[in-house]
Amino acid sequence: MPRKYDLHAHSTASDGTLTPSELVALAAARGVEVLALTDHDTLEGLAEARTAAEAADLSLLPGVEISVTWGGRSVHIVGLGVASRNETLREGLAGLRAYRHRRAEEIGRRLAGAGIAGALEGAREFSNGRLIGRTHFARFLIQRGYAANEREVFKHYLVKGKPGHVPGEWACLEAAVGWIRGAGGRAVIAHPGRYGFSRAKLLRLIGQFRELGGVGIEVVSSSHTRDESLLFARYARENRLLASVGSDFHGPQNPWARLGELAPLPAFCTPIWADWEER
Ligand code: AMP
Ligand code: MN
Ligand code: MN
Ligand code: MN
């Protein structure tokens, strides 16, 4: 029997709504055997998740999802199997979180300019004093009735051309891949279907990523159609990259991304776990 993997999920350490322990318990209940916790720009949830995973008899892979600016857009690079004590990785992520706080202040100012008062404070409450992101602004705006759900609120308030948009100034690709490799992890391009890149631009990203030592691409993701998964599986094979699978689960409130519910990888690609030791 193939094991059940979900290698991309969030907790309250970033913009998920379940605590690391709740996430692990849900994964175990859904029959996930190997789970990667991949919070945005933080390793904060890993210790709690590790303890919970031991109790639940599930393999926890320590991970992270690093925010990168590449080709004028925000791109996410997942690191799998990173050593959470690694100082260079920790410092790099701390820099991104500091930027997140500056960006949040600017988002708050811009929303105030559009007549929406108190957004920074509201978003901070949703983040519980931890890492802050656009999702926390989204939850505040929904609470105040500006939109019915997260998709709508992003579309009308938080993306390019909308009042709360601030262009990201994240890590460069080289730094992100370097931090992950330096911490003993494997770098994976997250949800390649989400960037709105042309094929040529995506292939440029893949080429540079590979030269820098990146090894994988998320082929199966809740945000991909079956056709997209097949295309990215081909790109993985043609570029000798390993294929990863991840729900990008953020909590039960988002019905489009359910923990552990993932389509199988196309048979012609090499899974990122192909050479992992059995427990
Ligand atoms: P940030 O890293 O703070 O810029 O926020 C990015 C996060 O916002 C992503 O990881 C998603 O959780 C969420 N997000 C981005 N775009 C959308 C969207 N269109 N609908 C719902 N959530 C989104
Ligand atoms: Mn997120
Ligand atoms: Mn992402
Ligand atoms: Mn994610």
Ligand nearest to the CA of 134: 1
- Closest ligand 1 atom, residue 194 Cα: 16
Mutate to test the pocket of ligand 1, among 15, 76, 134, 141 (most ligand atoms within 8 A of CB): 134
pLDDT score for 279: 46
Structural domains in the chain plus CATH codes: 5-93+170-246 (3.20.20.140), 97-158 (1.10.150.650)
Mutate to test the pocket of ligand 1, among 17, 154, 247, 256 (most ligand atoms within 8 A of CB): 154
- Decide if pLDDT at 1 tops 70: no
Ligand nearest to the CA of 132: 1
- Closest ligand 1 atom, residue 134 Cα: 3
Q: pLDDT tens digits for 206-249?
A: 999 999 999 999 999 999 999 999 999 999 999 999 999 999 99
Distance, in Å, from the CA atom of 259 to the CA atom of 247, rounded to the nearest integer, reads 6
**Which residues sit with Cβ closer than 5 angstroms to ligand 3, an ion?**
76, 190
Residue 24 and residue 56 in contact, taking contact as beta carbons nearer than 8 Å? yes
Residue 107 and residue 116 in contact, taking contact as beta carbons nearer than 8 Å? no
CA nearest to 167, candidates 117, 77, 97, 106: 106
**Whose Cα sits closest to atom 3 in ligand 1?**
133
pLDDT score for 278: 56
Residue 70 and residue 180 in contact, taking contact as beta carbons nearer than 8 Å? no
- In Å, how far are 23, 222, 248 from 252, measured between CA atoms? 10, 13, 12
Sign for the pseudo-dihedral over CA of 155, 191, 34, 10:
negative
pTM for this model (two decimals): 0.98
Q: How high is the mean pLDDT of the chain?
A: 97
Q: Say how many Å lie between the first and final Cα of the chain, rounded.
A: 15
Q: pLDDT tens digits for 54-103?
A: 999 899 999 999 999 999 999 999 999 999 999 999 999 999 999 999 99
Tokens in use for 252? 């039960």
What are the backbone angles phi and psi of residue 13, rounded to the nearest 5°?
-65, -25
Residue 123 and residue 101 in contact, taking contact as beta carbons nearer than 8 Å? no
Pairing of strands 73-80, 59-70: antiparallel
